Amino acid sequence: MRERQELRQPYPHIQVVVLDDDVNTFQHVVECLVRYIPGVNPDQAWELAHRIDGEGSAVVWCGPLEQAELYHQQLAAEGLTMAPLERA
């Protein structure tokens, strides 16, 4: 009898990406990232804000779908311009 092997897919990691816009100030972006993204301190948030401004976007968090959806929704509710969620 043949043993059945289970294929275990790794849990997909989803990227939360903030896009550059002409609406939000650096300060507002920084405050939102510190408030909603776990582990982001003000210095990291400023670095991300500069990356968003300079490169047009930045990945601000990556992890499980449910958490990604929450952070995406929270940041969008604060007026940040968000890219659609995508796999990392």
Query: Averaged over 4-11, what is the pLDDT?
Result: 64
What is the rounded end-to-end Cα distance, in angstroms, of the chain?
A: 39
**How far is it, in rounded angstroms, from Cα 58 to Cα 80?**
12
Structure tokens at 68: 């990604």
**How far is it, in rounded angstroms, from Cα 77 to Cα 64?**
20
Decide if 15 contacts 59 (C-beta within 8 A).
Answer: yes
For 21-35, the pLDDT digits (tens) are 999 999 999 999 999
**How far is it, in rounded angstroms, from Cα 25 to Cα 28?**
5
For 39-49, the pLDDT digits (tens) are 999 999 999 99
Query: Averaged over 5-29, what is the pLDDT?
Result: 88
